[in-house]
Amino acid sequence: MKSSPSPGERPEDLKLRFQILSAEYSALVQRLGSTSAVAAARTNLYFVFLSATGLALALISNASHFTREFEIFALAILLLNLVGGLLAMARMLHAHGQTVLYIQSPIASATSSRSSTPI
């Protein structure tokens, strides 16, 4: 069902609006794709770091026979893993927040432009 344009709008204005929205949408999709790719790479890097430290601790524990020094070293490494994981999570949450803002900005601009046009 095709809606007729309002009396104040010309079909050229509607075409221009559609082109602007299409360009904004494609830019938004491109930005969201790059944001999710970066978040996936950060997650992958953290898991590589986590598994590498686990493997290193396993090899060191076999060599040191679980001495007191190894326990202190393992605790320090595990705390480093915890801090790294919390920082990675904070950065990913920040990226997610930015994504939400990018999604909401066209909606907010569309609603504000509708409310500012005279009826």
Per domain, the residue ranges of the chain are 31-113
**Better-scored residue on pLDDT, 76 or 98:** 76
Q: What is the pLDDT of residue 43?
A: 87
CB atoms within 10 A of CB 12: 8
The rounded mean pLDDT for the chain is 81
pLDDT digits 0-9 by tens, 13-50: 888 888 888 888 888 888 788 878 888 888 899 999 99
Read off the pTM.
0.63
1 pLDDT above the threshold of 60 = no
